[in-house]
Amino acid sequence: MSTAQAGFSTRQIHAGSIVDAESRARVTPIYQTSGYVFDSFDEGAERFAGTSPLRAYSRTDNPTNVVAAKRIADLEGGVDGVLVGSGQAAIAMTVFSLASAGDHLLTTQLLYEGTREMLRGSLLRQGVTSTALDEHATEADWLAAVQPNTKAIYTESIPNPVGGVTDLDLLARVAKQAGVPLVVDNTVATPYLCRPFEFGADIIIHSTSKWLAGHGSVIGGAIIDGGSFDWAANAERFPQFTAPGPHGRPSAV
């Protein structure tokens, strides 16, 4: 079903849907599988090498997860997304895709406490440092805080649980000048109230456990790509997205 011209309410139910070819079920089935059938050894090798568009393993591509990720991406106005086990997993996966030991992040001071704990705990132990600026910091303050090894600016559209509204326009301008992506946790606002890509964000994170799920019964996370950051123009800072890895493709892909 095409949802290109559909409204928000319709898209939040149908966007990204994949109709099962055998049963034609209206609701996307739950595919409880880790692996997939390969018709030949060569086909399996191609899937795991990334040269085939077909699925290799559910850790990276499960049909049920794909529908959920594409639906959130559609609502946010992004190009695609990935579903993970929790909001904290979404943060960790994003940071470790962008940064390595010895790298640096710029963040706003008002963040979810679990995220602050990750920054000053597990991420710091992995060698990723961060600098937090308060909500009154100016554009000049942010630019002065950018370091040669800064790999992202990280914030929340509405900090959880203190509220407030982050100046995404300002941070997007700083990120663009610094040559790094602006990563926004949009958990509290949801795409119904705020779509950070429209303000210049490059990557959006969600803890789907909260408002997106709406029932508090499952844990989940999502990472949405806005397709706006020019990795090639910033290849020196992000070689993992541009330089060939061991399989002939960028190592972060």
Query: What pLDDT, on a 0 to 100 scale, did the predictor assign at position 23?
Result: 59
Q: Which fold has domain 63-241?
A: Aspartate Aminotransferase; domain 2 (3.40.640)
Query: What pLDDT, on a 0 to 100 scale, did the predictor assign at position 170?
Result: 97
Task: Tell me the C-alpha distance between 57 and 63, whole Å.
Answer: 11
Q: What residue spans define the domains of the chain?
A: 63-241
Query: What pLDDT, on a 0 to 100 scale, did the predictor assign at position 237?
Result: 92
Mean pLDDT in consecutive groups of 10 residues from the start of the chain, 253 residues: 72 72 70 87 89 84 87 94 93 96 96 94 95 94 97 96 92 97 96 96 95 84 96 92 71 64
pTM value is 0.85
Closest CA to 208 of 65, 33, 105, 109: 65
